[in-house]
Chains A and B, each alone.
Chain A
Amino acid sequence: MEVFFPRTLAELWPLKAANPESAVMAGGTDLLVRLRKTGERPPAIIALERLAELRRMSIEGGGLRIGAAVTIGELAASEIVRDALPALWQAAAALGSPPVRHGATVGGNMCTASPAGDTLPPLYVYGAAVAVAGAAGCRRLPIGDFILGPGRTSLAPGEIVTDIIVPLPTGGAFSAYYKVGKRRAMAIAVASLAVCIVRTADGAAGKVRLAWGSVGPTVISLPAVEAFLAGKRLAPDVLRQAGAMAAAAVLPIDDVRASAGYRRSLAGNLLLKLAALGDDEQEDGR
């Protein structure tokens, strides 16, 4: 098996063209696990880790542009992410363990397209877009259009993700990520919830965005629940009603990690965390 380390995108495209069956590898924390498990042996691997173009983070036109090969550890260490995109920051800090975060990338998490991918629910609630490039050119699409199903994306053969563009929420927005795993670290989400709420002057919820992980084939958005909460004060009974709506609407499965029933309960109960927005933010910020 050959392994290539292109340094620029200009170097990458011809390699891709010459090795159509090759696998792209960023951190390898999903790919290598998969190769060991399935015994698949792609004829070549093209590594993204030396592509400086994919490793940058910058503010551009009201959004944060995150290179696809930026590591989860770098996200978790970024002050911009911490201050402007707390849900993404909390998700990064909750993904795997320090050694995993050191290699794992945001692009890899996106392309694996697991419903349990920790960075995905935050990227949904922030309305992130995915920049995709191929030898022929670039396109940009909303994350909800990029991810098609478990393990399925709209990447065409020969394309890669170059960037993820995350609009920065307006000042005063509250956002957070809540994860329940089977233990405190190095655990895949059994259920998770990202929230982004813009509060109105009187303290009620204005615009509400919610996205659940691990309770359906992809990250789940429930516009009906968002609409129900919009304009209301997030009192416990309101949240309980919203929780009941969510628990009924999500599409979880039974697996060795948890039953569908437990996942439904969590999908509803995680909303209760919003009862004491400010306090809970600290207490559950893991």
Chain B
Amino acid sequence: MAEHRVLGKSVLRQDAVDKVTGAALFVDDIQFGPTLLHAKILRSPHPHARIISIDTAEAAKVPGVKAIVTGRDCRHYIGLYLADRTVYASDKVRFVGEPVAGVAADSIEAANAAVKLIKVAYEPLPGVFDPVSGARGREGLVHETPAAGDLWWQGLSCIKTKSPGALLHENLGEYQCAPFIHPVPGTNISNHFKLRKGDIDRGFAAADVIVENVYTLPHIQHSQIEPHSAVAHVDRAGKVTLWASSQSPNAVRKLIATAFELPMNKIRVITPYVGGGFGGKAGVTCEALVVPLAMRLPGYHVKLTLTREEVFQATFVRQGLVARLKTGADKTGRLVAMEAELFWDGGAYTEYGVNITRSGGYCSSGPYEIPNIKTDSYCVYTNHPVGGPMRGFGMPEIHWGIEQQMDIIAEKLGLDPLAFRRMNALREGSLGAFGGPMEGATLADTIDAVAAKCGWGAPVPPASAPHKVRGRGMACMYKAPSMPPNAQSSAILKLNEDGTVHVLTTAMEIGQGSLTALAQIAAEELGVAVDKVVVTLPDTDYTPYEWQTVASRISYSAGNAVLAAARDAKAQLLAVAAQVLAIPAAELVIEDGQVFPPANPARRLAVSDIAMGYLLPEGAIGGPVIGRGSFIPAGITGLDKDTGQGDKPAAFWTYGTQVADIEVDTRTGEITVLKVTAAYEVGKVINPAMCKGQVQGGIVQGLGSALYEHLVLAEGKPLNSDFVDYKIPAATDTPEMDIILLETSPQADGPFGVKGIAEPTMVPTAPAIANAVYNAVGVRITDLPLSAEKVLAALKKKQARES
């Protein structure tokens, strides 16, 4: 393979200087002058209630108030995979914090004063506060005939619903949805993903060990440093311009076009730097709220920046999950059967969450080959904050249980958990849970790499004090990008007169380094220095289509589009150079901005000489070079509605393994994560420093979800919607990290072999820590987070049992 000049090098991030110096502009920083108005949102205090009336008369009298909108002003249903929500609540509210009315005023104080004066009459309704009751309540019976004794969920601490039977979406059957989403009208189940592989009964009959447990996860929040912000402007011709802190400019445009019946060429979405996304700024969030206000106030700029409390309550959260997993293995350690019932706490609207249920369903085996599988994955409406995408999209959730099951079974069989996983790992050609063959299945490579690096099997060093105990645990993972089978990317690459390059895409820089990664791909292919390439931030009037910056797919998908655009531009440059140099294009190369035949490098042209065409004595040839690239993944097929079986549901799979070394304080229950060793197989590393940065960030975020994070909900009301009581890891919590990046299986259709890495990084951390806690002190905790309180309580219980 040719030596890469730019790829695989830790070049400086394109945004580094801007961000380090504070020069980088985020939406809230943009100055609009005297046309700026401030929006504030009246939000529901009830988890579930009918709206009887809304009276805005008094509010409208507050000096400075310019416009007020309510659900009456926007009745269209929107949603990414299931159109189940309106921009403002129309007839009912379904979660605490749901937008009921919006006010635009010339000061925040006036907007706040007006919000307080809007009178809403509600008729409170009974609510659904856990997904199992939600699915099983009177109207939501999952099973035609509930099996006797099938009450495993009773007594779980997360089962909270007092009066089952509430139905959240009476019109579920009428909502439009993607063809691969299967709502069950008349129930709270907005998607039922079914998977049937092999023969589950025969599978369990062949098992020598069967382990059945319930694993639960609470809602957590992305906790981006930048709160969501949007500014809308409508000009006299009705054109809407939006500045948005969004991961998905094109999805915002599409959903707003639907919500307000606008043609897409009358909506322009501009996204400056975004201060963290993690999924919480995907789809459409607060952008839609300001549009109807701006439509009433042509010429003004209407701005909404959410408070931290609003970010917690009223933007996406990670869905909660109650997972019953039953796993069987024979005495040689082969996994033979697995049954999974997954109840996802989708929250009040599941327009996006329904697809998490699907991903969690078709990946429910974890990264292992299991011949017989029965999975029912239910997306359930509850009166909780809206569940949506968050780093991992179902994978951290299902691996939380799967990876503990693996340790439990291995222990029962007397096998080393690492060897046991390795034996069952998906390999090239193994049949995945969905029945199709796995390609590039490199889990075993990552297991081996981690084992060697951390010295798996060596004795655990002594703890730092007599009342502390050390332990070590591991977890594996796999993840595919969760997206529609035809999620597209495109790119335009323009050459400037001096041979510098602009790459236009609508891929979003959310801190992950996409600007730099895409610049490296363009520079590598085109043969110019990376500092000659600038990748621009999205502006949908000028940058070409990108489905969304989610699913760890940008380096792969937008990378492919940029690669194609660079190839296109390169072909144009070579065609001109061939004519100028009178050497066939096939004999020319471009390196460092110079076009020459390797056989005779002295005969050369600079890219800048031909970027705008070339003037020959007989007249001009070529013209300004513009490369065009489009990408759509090929060969992704659907899954059967009744069996979840198919050939290739996803573009690629990324595999990884983590080992956590921890210490437990037996007096307080506190866990200290000392070290995490991680290996990922990523096909091809574009930028080692950024790639390692992703892994570090994922481990720390995973650690937060493992030890601290829990949005506490009481009858749907968040009790800790701020950073005083919702804790994410701080610098002092950060463990030592040893990271290995492998390139053993370049992705056939990935640019230069690239696979995605962003989300996989956080998937195994929590179960690895849970397994390490068990290893240290012999208590198994199946309910996240592993708070010190839970650990101490479990230790006490164990002591009581033993004495």
Interface residues of A (CB under 8 A from B): 97, 180, 182-188, 190, 256-259, 261-262, 265-266, 269-270, 272-273, 276, 279-280, 283-284
Contact A272:B730 (CB < 8 A) given known A188-B724, A256-B725, A262-B789: no
Interface residues of B (CB under 8 A from A): 464-467, 667-670, 707-708, 712, 719-720, 724-725, 727, 729-733, 787-789, 792-793, 796
Question: Contact at B730–A256, with CB atoms within 8 Å?
Answer: no
Instruction: Report the separation of the CA atoms of residues A182 and B725 in the bound assembly, to the nearest whole angstrom.
Output: 8
Instruction: Report the separation of the CA atoms of residues A259 and B727 in the bound assembly, to the nearest whole angstrom.
Output: 17
Question: Contact at B667–A182, with CB atoms within 8 Å?
Answer: no
| Chain A contacts for B725, CB-based, 8 A | 182, 256-257
A sample of 29 inter-chain contacts (CB < 8 A) reads A97-B730, A180-B670, A182-B708, A182-B725, A182-B787, A183-B707, A183-B732, A183-B733, A184-B730, A185-B731, A185-B733, A186-B730, A257-B725, A258-B789, A262-B669, A262-B788, A262-B789, A262-B792, A265-B792, A265-B796, A266-B668, A266-B792, A269-B667, A270-B668, A272-B467, A272-B667, A273-B667, A276-B466, A283-B464
Instruction: Report the separation of the CA atoms of residues A97 and B732 in the bound assembly, to the nearest whole angstrom.
Output: 10
Instruction: Report the separation of the CA atoms of residues A184 and B789 in the bound assembly, to the nearest whole angstrom.
Output: 15
Question: Contact at A256–B719, with CB atoms within 8 Å?
Answer: yes
Contact of B730 among A185, A190, A257 (CB under 8 A): A185
Chain A residue with the shortest CB-CB distance to B670? A180
| Chain A contacts for B720, CB-based, 8 A | 256
Question: Contact at A262–B793, with CB atoms within 8 Å?
Answer: yes
| Chain A contacts for B729, CB-based, 8 A | 183
Instruction: Report the separation of the CA atoms of residues A272 and B465 in the bound assembly, to the nearest whole angstrom.
Output: 13
Instruction: Report the separation of the CA atoms of residues A123 and B730 in the bound assembly, to the nearest whole angstrom.
Output: 28
Contact A256:B712 (CB < 8 A) given known A180-B670, A180-B788: yes
| Chain B contacts for A273, CB-based, 8 A | 667
Instruction: Report the separation of the CA atoms of residues A120 and B363 in the bound assembly, to the nearest whole angstrom.
Output: 52
Return A104 CB to nearest CB of chain B, in Å: 14
| Chain B contacts for A265, CB-based, 8 A | 792, 796
Instruction: Report the separation of the CA atoms of residues A286 and B317 in the bound assembly, to the nearest whole angstrom.
Output: 33
Chain B residue with the shortest CB-CB distance to A282? B465
Instruction: Report the separation of the CA atoms of residues A6 and B670 in the bound assembly, to the nearest whole angstrom.
Output: 45
| Chain A contacts for B789, CB-based, 8 A | 190, 258-259, 262
| Chain A contacts for B730, CB-based, 8 A | 97, 183-186
Chain B residue with the shortest CB-CB distance to A257? B725
| Chain B contacts for A269, CB-based, 8 A | 667-668
10 smallest CB-CB distances across A and B, nearest first, come from A269-B667, A184-B732, A262-B789, A185-B732, A256-B719, A185-B730, A183-B727, A182-B727, A256-B720, A180-B668
| Chain B contacts for A279, CB-based, 8 A | 465
Chain A residue with the shortest CB-CB distance to B731? A185
Return A282 CB to nearest CB of chain B, in Å: 10
Instruction: Report the separation of the CA atoms of residues A276 and B724 in the bound assembly, to the nearest whole angstrom.
Output: 33
Instruction: Report the separation of the CA atoms of residues A262 and B788 in the bound assembly, to the nearest whole angstrom.
Output: 9
| Chain B contacts for A180, CB-based, 8 A | 668, 670, 788
Return A155 CB to nearest CB of chain B, in Å: 25
Instruction: Report the separation of the CA atoms of residues A222 and B725 in the bound assembly, to the nearest whole angstrom.
Output: 29
Return B675 CB to nearest CB of chain A, in Å: 16
Instruction: Report the separation of the CA atoms of residues A190 and B669 in the bound assembly, to the nearest whole angstrom.
Output: 12
| Chain A contacts for B668, CB-based, 8 A | 180, 266, 269-270
Question: Contact at B708–A183, with CB atoms within 8 Å?
Answer: yes
Chain B residue with the shortest CB-CB distance to A279? B465
Contact of B727 among A97, A187, A280 (CB under 8 A): A187
Chain B residue with the shortest CB-CB distance to A273? B667
Instruction: Report the separation of the CA atoms of residues A31 and B730 in the bound assembly, to the nearest whole angstrom.
Output: 24
Instruction: Report the separation of the CA atoms of residues A115 and B261 in the bound assembly, to the nearest whole angstrom.
Output: 56
Return A177 CB to nearest CB of chain B, in Å: 14
Instruction: Report the separation of the CA atoms of residues A148 and B732 in the bound assembly, to the nearest whole angstrom.
Output: 35
| Chain B contacts for A97, CB-based, 8 A | 730
| Chain B contacts for A188, CB-based, 8 A | 724
Return B287 CB to nearest CB of chain A, in Å: 26
Chain A residue with the shortest CB-CB distance to B730? A185
Return A39 CB to nearest CB of chain B, in Å: 9
B465, B667, B720, B727: most-surrounded residue (chain A CB, <10 A): B667
| Chain B contacts for A284, CB-based, 8 A | 465
Return B704 CB to nearest CB of chain A, in Å: 9
B464, B708, B732, B733: most-surrounded residue (chain A CB, <10 A): B732
| Chain A contacts for B464, CB-based, 8 A | 283
B668, B712, B730: most-surrounded residue (chain A CB, <10 A): B668
Return B57 CB to nearest CB of chain A, in Å: 23
Instruction: Report the separation of the CA atoms of residues A185 and B667 in the bound assembly, to the nearest whole angstrom.
Output: 19
| Chain A contacts for B467, CB-based, 8 A | 272
Instruction: Report the separation of the CA atoms of residues A272 and B669 in the bound assembly, to the nearest whole angstrom.
Output: 14
Chain B residue with the shortest CB-CB distance to A183? B727
Return A276 CB to nearest CB of chain B, in Å: 8
| Chain A contacts for B732, CB-based, 8 A | 183-185
| Chain A contacts for B719, CB-based, 8 A | 256
Chain A residue with the shortest CB-CB distance to B725? A256
Contact A280:B708 (CB < 8 A) given known A262-B789, A265-B796: no
Return B24 CB to nearest CB of chain A, in Å: 21
| Chain A contacts for B667, CB-based, 8 A | 269-270, 272-273
| Chain A contacts for B724, CB-based, 8 A | 188
Q: Given A257-B725, A266-B668, 7 more contacts at CB 8 Å?
A: A183-B708, A183-B727, A185-B730, A187-B727, A279-B465, A283-B464, A284-B465
Chain A residue with the shortest CB-CB distance to B720? A256
| Chain B contacts for A270, CB-based, 8 A | 667-668
Chain A residue with the shortest CB-CB distance to B468? A283
Instruction: Report the separation of the CA atoms of residues A187 and B720 in the bound assembly, to the nearest whole angstrom.
Output: 13
Return A34 CB to nearest CB of chain B, in Å: 12
Return B432 CB to nearest CB of chain A, in Å: 38
Instruction: Report the separation of the CA atoms of residues A280 and B466 in the bound assembly, to the nearest whole angstrom.
Output: 10
Chain B residue with the shortest CB-CB distance to A280? B465
Chain B residue with the shortest CB-CB distance to A188? B724
Chain A residue with the shortest CB-CB distance to B785? A182
Return B635 CB to nearest CB of chain A, in Å: 46
Instruction: Report the separation of the CA atoms of residues A77 and B744 in the bound assembly, to the nearest whole angstrom.
Output: 52
Instruction: Report the separation of the CA atoms of residues A166 and B724 in the bound assembly, to the nearest whole angstrom.
Output: 30
Chain A residue with the shortest CB-CB distance to B467? A272
Instruction: Report the separation of the CA atoms of residues A261 and B712 in the bound assembly, to the nearest whole angstrom.
Output: 18
Question: Contact at A184–B792, with CB atoms within 8 Å?
Answer: no
| Chain B contacts for A266, CB-based, 8 A | 668, 792
Question: Contact at B712–A283, with CB atoms within 8 Å?
Answer: no
A185, A188, A265, A283: most-surrounded residue (chain B CB, <10 A): A265
Instruction: Report the separation of the CA atoms of residues A46 and B731 in the bound assembly, to the nearest whole angstrom.
Output: 35
| Chain A contacts for B788, CB-based, 8 A | 180, 182, 190, 262
Return A243 CB to nearest CB of chain B, in Å: 9
Instruction: Report the separation of the CA atoms of residues A196 and B725 in the bound assembly, to the nearest whole angstrom.
Output: 30
Chain B residue with the shortest CB-CB distance to A184? B732
Return A105 CB to nearest CB of chain B, in Å: 19
Instruction: Report the separation of the CA atoms of residues A186 and B730 in the bound assembly, to the nearest whole angstrom.
Output: 8
Return B507 CB to nearest CB of chain A, in Å: 34
Instruction: Report the separation of the CA atoms of residues A262 and B793 in the bound assembly, to the nearest whole angstrom.
Output: 8
Instruction: Report the separation of the CA atoms of residues A265 and B789 in the bound assembly, to the nearest whole angstrom.
Output: 9
Instruction: Report the separation of the CA atoms of residues A2 and B730 in the bound assembly, to the nearest whole angstrom.
Output: 36
Instruction: Report the separation of the CA atoms of residues A258 and B707 in the bound assembly, to the nearest whole angstrom.
Output: 14
| Chain B contacts for A182, CB-based, 8 A | 708, 725, 727, 787-788
Return B717 CB to nearest CB of chain A, in Å: 11
Instruction: Report the separation of the CA atoms of residues A188 and B720 in the bound assembly, to the nearest whole angstrom.
Output: 13
Chain B residue with the shortest CB-CB distance to A39? B112
Instruction: Report the separation of the CA atoms of residues A187 and B670 in the bound assembly, to the nearest whole angstrom.
Output: 14
| Chain B contacts for A185, CB-based, 8 A | 730-733
Chain B residue with the shortest CB-CB distance to A276? B466
Instruction: Report the separation of the CA atoms of residues A259 and B707 in the bound assembly, to the nearest whole angstrom.
Output: 17
| Chain A contacts for B669, CB-based, 8 A | 262
Question: Contact at B465–A184, with CB atoms within 8 Å?
Answer: no
Instruction: Report the separation of the CA atoms of residues A270 and B788 in the bound assembly, to the nearest whole angstrom.
Output: 14
A180, A185, A190, A283: most-surrounded residue (chain B CB, <10 A): A180
Instruction: Report the separation of the CA atoms of residues A236 and B233 in the bound assembly, to the nearest whole angstrom.
Output: 70
Chain B residue with the shortest CB-CB distance to A266? B668
Return B775 CB to nearest CB of chain A, in Å: 22
| Chain B contacts for A283, CB-based, 8 A | 464-465
Instruction: Report the separation of the CA atoms of residues A283 and B787 in the bound assembly, to the nearest whole angstrom.
Output: 22
